Every structure is written in C-alpha cells, then in structure tokens.
C-alpha cells in the first residue's frame, strides 16, 4: 500500500457537484495530442449546476431529479428543492440538492420514487 502520511497535514477537500441529463455529442479532438470531449446543452446545464452549488453539496436540475425518480435506485435519495436559483443563460430554474438517505431511513423507505419535495 502506498504511503499516505503526507496527507495528514492537508485540510479537508470539499467539492461542488452539478448533475443534469440529456443528449450530448462526443468526439475526439486534436491531431498530435488527442482528447475525448463532450458538448451540448446538457453539459452546459451540468456545469451551471456545479457553479451554483455549494462545497460538499450535489446540485441537480429538475430534469435529473425526475429521471432519478424513475430509476431503480430512486429510493436511496431525496431531492430537496432550492428556491429561485438563477442559472446563467437559462434564467430561474427549479433545482434540487441531492441527498443520500441514511441506511436506517432507506430500510423503512418504500419502493418507488425518491421524495422530490416541492416548495410551496
């Protein structure tokens, strides 16, 4: 196993994550140094979700939350609404914090949709 003692003095790392789903175009770019990349509105919206997230949080679009609600793993997550998030190039969107349900909560959760809480 590698020596990880050098990490003891490092601060915790908090990342922001943004998720969206939708069609993309993918391809290889470059000639002498190639790279694989993806493009499309779905990529841009995911980037905006990340940019408007907070450290240690997962910020998802409404489209992602609805797709998750139809997924076989949906009962493992809650989608907590964020009110009036202004997204550059998109305006005000309905977005959510994605939170994993604890094991105890998950055992009592019924099969089916994750709880997508609606703001009133």
- At 60 the three-state DSSP class reads strand
The answer to whether the predicted template modeling score (pTM) of the entire model surpasses 0.95 is: no
Catalytic residue among 88, 90, 100, 117, which?
Answer: 88
Q: How many CA atoms lie within 13 A of 102 on its CB side?
A: 2
82 is catalytic: no
Token pair for residue 36? 């694989």
Contact 85, 69 (CB under 8 A): no
Fold (CATH) for 14-110: Alpha-Beta Plaits (3.30.70)
Sign of CA dihedral 114, 92, 57, 51: positive
Per-residue pLDDT tens listing for the chain (120 residues): 678 787 777 788 889 999 999 999 999 999 899 999 999 999 999 999 999 999 999 999 999 999 999 999 999 999 999 988 999 999 999 999 999 997 656 555 555 555 666 543
From 16, 33, 48, 100, the catalytic residue = 48
**110 within 8 A of 75, measured Cβ to Cβ:** yes
């Amino acid at each position: 196993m590698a020596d990880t003692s050098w990490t003891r003095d490092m601060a915790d790392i908090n990342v922001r994550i943004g998720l969206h789903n939708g069609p993309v175009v993918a391809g290889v770019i470059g000639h002498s140094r190639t790279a694989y990349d993806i493009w499309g509105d779905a990529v841009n919206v995911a980037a905006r979700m990340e940019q408007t997230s907070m450290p240690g949080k997962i910020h998802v679009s409404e489209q992602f939350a609805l797709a998750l609600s139809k997924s076989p793993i949906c009962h493992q997550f809650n989608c907590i609404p964020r009110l009036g998030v202004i997204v550059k190039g998109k305006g005000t969107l309905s977005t959510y914090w994605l939170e994993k349900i604890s094991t105890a909560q998950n055992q009592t959760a019924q099969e089916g949709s994750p709880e997508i809480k609606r703001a009133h």
